[in-house]
């Protein structure tokens, strides 16, 4: 794996030859000429061989490929010992949730800025070892859902020393911590929290809008977990498990309107 003295080693996987060439050119000419592109694969069978030979730090991976999509591939070669950045034209509902199961995803046509940000994020993850030890990225649930076209109902939450696959309904709320977020969720009926490297705005985008509502610049809450709402000088709500969270005065009326009109959430 890369450290501060060695260049980042990556494998490019895409069934379109021109897409691989384009990605390679952008990475080396516009992002970082020190990146070591150890190989290029045009199908998952070849990618598996290259992984065994080169053991790269990361794989830039297309999602929709002949015979086997990216999630089936990742499940098959699990446990994985590399980070994943999806580079894909696949822009359906599921891609938002996949974002939290990888370092990042880039939509085609590639934005140089987005790709540069993904590389920075990738290096940071590797340098500071902010993910769990290699081999713990669980793509099996994702593979099942994408293959069956089922609606996603879980995300992976990755902290400094652990990773949790959590159902949407089990997430109580998300609290902003600067550029990071602390996610509070239920595990064996206990409230657990995990600090992740994603901003609260990312979770606002990723979590189902019929279930979660931003009640404050620092809080995104699961509306099914609301027990009581208090309208006082400082509005607040009490969630199940006795947790009290402030409500922004500006967002209080829209919260009430949302609760009265929101559609039911179905897994």
Q: Which residues contact 217 (CB under 8 A, 6 or more apart)?
A: 176, 248
Q: Which residues contact 242 (CB under 8 A, 6 or more apart)?
A: none
Please give the sequence-ordered ranges of beta strands (E in DSSP) within the chain, or none if there are none: 9-13, 36-41, 58-61, 83-88, 104-107, 154-158, 163-167, 171-177, 180-187, 190-196, 212-216, 219-222, 226-230, 236-239, 243-246
Q: Which residues contact 161 (CB under 8 A, 6 or more apart)?
A: 132
Would the pLDDT of 2 be above 90?
Answer: no
In 129-251, which residue ranges form alpha helices assigned H by DSSP? 140-148, 200-206
Q: With cut-offs at 50, 70 and 90, classify the pLDDT of residue 131.
A: very low
Conformation bin of residue 125: beta by default, left when phi > 0, alpha when psi is -120 to 50: alpha
Q: Which residues contact 81 (CB under 8 A, 6 or more apart)?
A: 55, 134, 135
How far is it, in rounded angstroms, from Cα 140 to Cα 153?
13
How far is it, in rounded angstroms, from Cα 96 to Cα 57?
23
Beta-carbon count within 10 A of 100 CB: 19
Q: Which residues contact 111 (CB under 8 A, 6 or more apart)?
A: none
Using an 8 Å Cβ cutoff, are 200 and 179 in contact?
Answer: no
Would the pLDDT of 15 be above 70?
Answer: yes
Locus of tokens 């999509």: 69
Beta-carbon count within 10 A of 67 CB: 10
Q: Does domain 153-261 have CATH number 2.40.50.1020?
A: yes
How far is it, in rounded angstroms, from Cα 64 to Cα 86?
10
pLDDT tens, residue by residue, 99-122: 556 777 888 899 999 999 889 888
Provide the CATH number for the domain formed by 9-144 in this structure: 3.40.50.2300
Angle at alpha carbon of residue 56, lines to 36 and 96, rounded to 5°: 100
Percent of the chain beyond pLDDT 90? Answer: 47
Query: Is the whole model's pTM more than 0.85, yes or no?
Result: no
Query: For residues 69 and 131, which has the higher predicted lDDT (pLDDT)?
Result: 69
pLDDT the model gives residue 146: 56
pLDDT tens, residue by residue, 137-192: 556 655 665 555 556 677 877 766 667 888 899 999 999 998 889 999 999 989 99
Locus of tokens 């809080």: 219
List the chain domain ranges: 9-144, 153-261
Mean pLDDT to the nearest integer, 9-25: 96
């Amino acid at each position: 794996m890369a450290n501060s003295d060695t260049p980042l080693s990556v494998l490019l996987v895409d069934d379109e030859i021109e897409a691989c060439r384009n990605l390679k050119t952008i990475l080396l000419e516009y992002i970082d000429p020190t990146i070591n592109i150890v190989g290029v694969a045009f199908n998952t069978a070849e990618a598996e061989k290259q992984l065994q030979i080169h053991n790269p730090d990361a794989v830039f991976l297309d999602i929709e490929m002949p015979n086997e999509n990216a999630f089936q591939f990742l499940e098959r070669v699990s446990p994985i010992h590399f980070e994943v950045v999806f580079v894909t034209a696949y822009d359906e509902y599921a891609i938002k949730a996949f974002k939290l199961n990888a370092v990042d995803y880039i939509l085609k046509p590639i934005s140089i800025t987005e790709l540069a940000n993904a590389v920075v994020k990738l290096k940071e993850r590797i340098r500071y070892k902010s993910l769990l030890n290699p081999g713990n990225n669980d793509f099996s649930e994702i593979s099942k859902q994408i293959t069956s076209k089922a609606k996603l109902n879980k995300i992976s939450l990755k902290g400094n020393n652990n990773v949790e696959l959590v159902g949407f309904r089990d997430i109580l709320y998300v609290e902003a911590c600067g550029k990071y977020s602390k996610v509070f969720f239920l595990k064996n009926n206990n409230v657990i929290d995990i600090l992740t490297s994603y901003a609260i705005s990312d979770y606002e985008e990723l979590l189902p809008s019929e279930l979660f509502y931003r009640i404050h610049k620092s809080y995104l809450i699961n509306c099914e977990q609301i027990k009581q709402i208090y309208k006082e000088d400082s509005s607040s709500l009490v969630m199940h498990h006795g947790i009290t969270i402030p409500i922004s005065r500006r967002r209080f009326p829209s919260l009430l309107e949302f609760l009265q009109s929101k559609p039911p959430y179905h897994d």
